[in-house]
Amino acid sequence: MPSAQTVARVLGLTALTLFATVPRASAATGWSLAPAGGGRPSFYAEGAPGSVLQDTVSVTNPGGHPVTVRLSGTGTGTGAGVPVTFAEPSVRVPARTRADVPFTVTVPTGAAPGDRSGTLVAKDADGRTATVRIRLRVGGPALSALTVEHVAVHGDRITYELVNRGTTVLVPKLAVHAEGVFGRDLLDRVPRTLPARLAPGSRTALSEPWPGHPALDAVDVRLTATAAGGAHDTATTRARFVPWGAVAGTAGALTAGAAVTVVRRRRRRACHAAEPLSTKAELTGAVR
């Protein structure tokens, strides 16, 4: 099976380059951690989403006893930070020796363009650590796109979802408009910044309070979301407000009235039905 280093070369990995000039990272016991090759105090990588980048970190032990360290990577920023994979996560470094450990950085597929930061960490058996910073710049075009989905009215609240369909982080604004059946404006809220920060590909469910909604009306509701970079989308829904308590009372009264009418009609029909019987008796008597 080919080694991680060989696979990285086959994939056309890009070498990491110098980012800044800062003091060499070191640990309290004398062993140290630094980019291989000297002259680089930290790592800098740049690549498009989906690419794999390779470099090497050195663990130097100038002491008289061997030291074993475990290597790991941490990252911050949009999404998952800086994903790091080491050829050997644990390395034993003899006395007065340097160990060079290859590692790869994978740029997440679908990652938004921009900078991510992380740290390579080495830790020995005594809990002592040394670190080296790493910066990753994700290339690619910046696309700002936003959609408003699943708009619905639930009593005194309008619910909806915002979806980031682009490649940049969005801080959206929302405008709300509602118009009644006679064309009058029932709600007209100017765009305002929402308490939401959407990473590329993320979705968030939000709601808009509407405490003064009408008691009886058919309403068209329109939500318009915007964000930096030209992101813009509008979604609409229709809601009907009916005072069901009053309707239930009216329906009950109508039902009671209908029952009285039915009883009266039945009584009248009973009287009319008796008339032919009375007439027949009279005719019978007349025959005699």
* One fold for 4-138 and 146-241: yes
pLDDT in tens, 164-198: 998 888 999 999 999 998 888 899 999 999 999 99
Q: How many Å is the Cα radius of gyration of the chain?
A: 38
* Class (C level, CATH) for 146-241: mainly beta
Q: What is the mean pLDDT of residues 72-81?
A: 61
Of the pLDDT bands very low, low, confident and very high (cuts 50, 70, 90), residue 83 is confident
Tokens (6 digits) for 259 = 């029952």
Burial letters 233-268, b for 16+ CB under 10 A, else e: bebebebebeeeeeeeeeeeeeeeeeeeeeeeeeee
Q: Which two tokens stand for residue 40?
A: 């680089």
Sequence spans of domains, the chain: 4-138, 146-241, 252-280
What is the per-residue pLDDT for 34?
Answer: 95
Q: Say what the pLDDT of residue 128 is.
A: 93
Strand partners, 165: none
Classify domain 4-138 by CATH architecture. Sandwich (2.60)
Q: Of 207-216, 266-275, 277-286, give the lowest mean pLDDT range.
A: 277-286
Question: What is the mean pLDDT of the segment spanning 273-281?
Answer: 35
Give the sign of the dihedral formed by CA 107, CA 108, CA 113, CA 114: negative
- DSSP H or E run through 8: helix 4-10
pTM for the model: 0.51
Q: Please report which confidence band the pLDDT of residue 45 belongs to, taking 50, 70 and 90 as the band edges.
A: confident
The structure tokens listed for 177 are: 């408009």
